[in-house]
Amino acid sequence: MSTIVFTGGGTGGHVYPGLAVYRELSRDHQEKVLWIGSRRGIERGIVGGEGLRYRSVPTGKLRRYFDWQNFLDLFRVAAGFFAALWILKREGASLVFSKGGFVAVPVVAAARVAGIPVVVHESDADPGLATRLTAPLARVICLPYEESIQAFSPSLRGRVVVTGNPVRREFFSDSSRHALSLVGLQDEGLPVILVTGGSLGAHQLNRYVREQIKALTEIALVVHQTGDHGKELIGEIAAEAVPGRYAGFPSFSEEFAPLLQRSDLVICRAGAGSIWELAVTATPAVLVPLSSASSRGDQVRNAARYAASGAALVFEGGPEDSKDLLVMVQSLLEDSPRRAAMAEAARSFAGGNSARSIAGIIGRIIE
Ligand SMILES: CC(=O)N[C@H]1[C@@H](OP(=O)(O)OP(=O)(O)OC[C@H]2O[C@@H](n3ccc(=O)[nH]c3=O)[C@H](O)[C@@H]2O)O[C@H](CO)[C@@H](O)[C@@H]1O
């Protein structure tokens, strides 16, 4: 039996959508599956937790600026290419599905050399460098939005399919009933605010919560994901909060879908995966995108694209502006018709089941 190879990694945003596709695919196909990631990437733990076979290959960071490390990384990418080629041949791989991230580059290149068909998916409105490099080698290029097609040359556009972003199945079915007990909070009839910084957490959001926790817990229950780097803050924030109204965690696993469904408002970064999960659960949100100054600006464009649908507001303040964010949150919590309209807009944005569509594309190629 041949093997379908998944690849991608670096952050949760490059792994969870891949898992969503894998789960849909395994409903209809019995092929063996292997995930190729990096040695120390976040993907190793997430994929391992799913019970999927995992192999790592060397890879290098693809920087757009000069750094001496670039030379070393070129060798790492080359080493990753040969390691991936060996794995693909030995496994008798029938298809490679790439979810992007640096590790996908040597794997997709190896697949191309071995004549194995490749399907690439990009989550961000503005495709990342790994997708731009690998798309020319792919048979099908799956993109989240019509306008993302502009990033590719006319010769590649014929291979593009607009699929939206894959979201895991648990976000589609309502499991909100026990959400609060999962994080140790009691339902007091107050609105629920979830603050989440994406798979890595966000310093800026942690600072906002630390500065405004008293005022926030006077009007709502607050559930807060700090990321690993912010876990020391949890005790300090809890001490400032109205007792019994704050729950902080470094990160969530099974609680995440129920919490999104249970929340009246989410304050979060604008990672592509987070946005589509908000859309599927129809949860009104305030997005605080990672600024263009400290990133390639993908979150700024993701946020603008989503907010244009009416499902979210974008907070453009800096790290010192927690009071302005509080005002925005207060006015949204007081305005339930507005939140209902945002939820409706989110529902229309989400559309169908993207993971299922992509699994269908993969299924047709391997058949
Ligand atoms: C800092 C950074 O580089 N961010 C990028 C990264 O974001 P990031 O890795 O945060 O990815 P997303 O926002 O796309 O997705 C976050 C994922 O983590 C999951 N989750 C989150 C918190 C938690 O406690 N538990 C949990 O399971 C969510 O359910 C979601 O599936 O990839 C995205 C998709 O390419 C990009 O748009 C972001 O710009």
pLDDT of residue 208: 98
For the chain, the domains span: 3-166, 173-350
pLDDT of residue 297: 87
pLDDT of residue 154: 95
Supply 350's token pair: 């989400």
pLDDT of residue 10: 92
Confidence of residue 197 (pLDDT cuts 50, 70, 90): very high
DSSP 229: G
Structure ipTM = 0.98
Tell me if 365 CB under 6 Å of ligand 1: no
Residue 1 predicted with pLDDT over 80: no
Tell me if 226 CB under 6 Å of ligand 1: no
Contact indicator for 37, 50 with CB cutoff of 8 Å? no
Model pLDDT for residues 72-115, shown as the tens digit of each residue: 888 899 999 999 999 999 999 999 999 999 999 999 999 999 99
pLDDT of residue 2: 85
How far does residue 340's CA lie from ligand 1's centre (Å)? 25
pLDDT over 90, % of the chain: 89
CA dist., res. 223 & res. 248, Å (int): 6
Average of per-residue pLDDT across 17-39: 95
Question: Which residues are registered as beta bridge partners of 6?
Answer: 35, 97
179 vs 61, residue with greater confidence: 179
pLDDT of residue 104: 96
Tell me if 255 CB under 6 Å of ligand 1: no
Q: What number of other Cβ atoms are within 10 A of residue 264's Cβ?
A: 18
Buried b (16+ CB within 10 A) or exposed e, 21-42: bbbbbeeeeebebbbbbbeebb
Options 3.40.50.2000, 3.30.1450.10, 3.40.50.300, 1.10.3720.10; CATH of 173-350: 3.40.50.2000
Q: What is the DSSP string of 241-300?
A: SPTTSEEEES--STTHHHHHHH-SEEEE---HHHHHHHHHHT--EEE-PPPGGGS-SHHH
pLDDT of residue 294: 75
Residue closest to 121 by CA, chosen among 365, 366, 361, 363: 361
pLDDT of residue 70: 75
Closest-CA residue, ligand 1 atom 10, reads 198
pLDDT of residue 66: 72
Binding site members for UDP-N-acetyl-alpha-D-glucosamine = 11-13, 168, 199, 299
- Across the chain, mean pLDDT equals 95
Confidence of residue 61 (pLDDT cuts 50, 70, 90): confident
Tell me if 272 CB under 6 Å of ligand 1: yes
CA dist., res. 288 & res. 294, Å (int): 13
CA dist., res. 349 & res. 309, Å (int): 7
CATH domain 3-166 topology? Rossmann fold (3.40.50)
Model pLDDT for residues 319-366, shown as the tens digit of each residue: 999 999 999 999 999 999 999 999 999 999 998 999 999 999 999 999
pLDDT of residue 300: 95
pLDDT of residue 3: 95
DSSP 317: -
- By the 10 Å C-beta count (0-12 exposed, 13-18 middle, 19+ buried), 155 is classed as exposed
Supply 121's token pair: 């998916």
Q: What letter represents residue 322's amino acid? A: S
- 51-65, 157-171, 183-197, 306-320: the lowest-pLDDT one: 51-65
> What is the position in ligand 1's atom list of the atom closest to the CA of 274?
13
Supply 85's token pair: 């080629």
Confidence of residue 267 (pLDDT cuts 50, 70, 90): very high
pLDDT of residue 273: 97
Tell me if 306 CB under 6 Å of ligand 1: no
> What is the position in ligand 1's atom list of the atom closest to the CA of 167?
31
Residue 34 predicted with pLDDT over 90: yes
70 vs 190, residue with greater confidence: 190
CA dist., res. 6 & res. 106, Å (int): 13
Q: What is the DSSP string of 59-121?
A: -----SS--THHHHHHHHHHHHHHHHHHHHHHHTEEEEEE--STTHHHHHHHHHHTT--EEEE
Binding site members = 11-13, 168, 199, 299
Confidence of residue 178 (pLDDT cuts 50, 70, 90): very high
Confidence of residue 182 (pLDDT cuts 50, 70, 90): very high
> Do 3-166 and 173-350 agree at the fold level?
yes
